[in-house]
Amino acid sequence: MQTRKLGTLAVSVVGLGCNNFGGRLDQERTTAVVHAALDVGINFFDTADVYGGTHSEEFIGRALGARRSSVIVATKFGIPLDEQRKGGARPEYIRRALEDSLKRLDTDYIDLYQLHRPDPEVPIADTLGALDELKRAGKLREIGCSNFSTEQLREAAAAVKPGAAPFVSVQNEYSLLERKPEHGVLAECAARGIGFLPYFPLASGLLSGKYAPGATPPPPSARLADASAPLGARFRNERNSAAAEALGRFAASRGHSLLELAFSWLLARPAVASVIAGATSAEQIRANAAAADWQLNADELGEIDRLAPLAPA
């Protein structure tokens, strides 16, 4: 498994998104998926305090056990959890959220601590100052953000005091079917040395190949099984389904799967540090890990642009 830099961290180019843990997966199945990831060389685990009603962090901590020091654990804060933990990016809330995450993960440090979404009520300088203090205290190694625009990344960069910790990553939605980061965020990342982490890299499963014509119908529990449900309606719309079918035929004509295309196309972007796809089984983990090896050439990238073009800003 290759790695790329994320600040001072070296993360596997295929990571594991842990939003299924504590919800769709219990502790036993979570442990099986985590161990399968470790077995194929995945060292980057991305979660959030809100995932699984806080259980995702707990399950990951138990699954990693004594192997904690050999992996990169990323988590997020900022989304409300309940009436007592209302989220946001105020310094006092960050300190509480971090201590809670450390306890749930059964660790004394977090490798990458990320603001889950911008907080318009709090000056970004205040947030960065609190995160820098926690880094200096040894409770986290690097800091990142999520769902930030180009302008918000610039505002954050300008607010960093000399010698203080900057954001080393931004995690936004990005896939063959959602290319909005190409309208500025990716260029900003490249200019500032910020690693980009795409979420929904498989368009919630539409780019996995399991919804392709002729494929075995996915079980009712699959995220997009009901095309009329909110998530299904968002991803399995006419435009996306047609593009996914065309991309699947393109990949097959070159001896690859749609899954391999989805991973390899993202990793063809130098700013992308790791593709953090979720998984619910060891088989999915192994498929994801093997999907990043297609080196797309210029002609292939041009054909992909034709089949799934970048939408206007």
* Residues classed as catalytic: 51
Distance CA 22, CA 56 (A): 5
Query: DSSP label at 119?
Result: -
Of 259, 264, 224, 266, which is closest to residue 244 (Cα–Cα)? 259
Distance CA 121, CA 100 (A): 23
Phi-psi bin for 94: left (phi > 0), alpha (psi -120 to 50), beta? alpha
Distance CA 52, CA 68 (A): 20
For the chain, first and last CA: distance in Å? Answer: 35
Distance CA 17, CA 170 (A): 15
Kindly write down the DSSP assignment for every residue of 151-204, as one continuous string. HHHHHHHHHPPTTSPPEEEEEEE-BTTB-GGGGTHHHHHHHHTPEEEEESTTGG
Alpha helices (H) in the chain, listed in sequence order: 27-39, 55-64, 91-105, 124-136, 150-159, 185-192, 230-235, 238-253, 258-267, 282-290, 298-307
CB neighbours (10 Å) of residue 182?
A: 13
Distance CA 165, CA 143 (A): 7
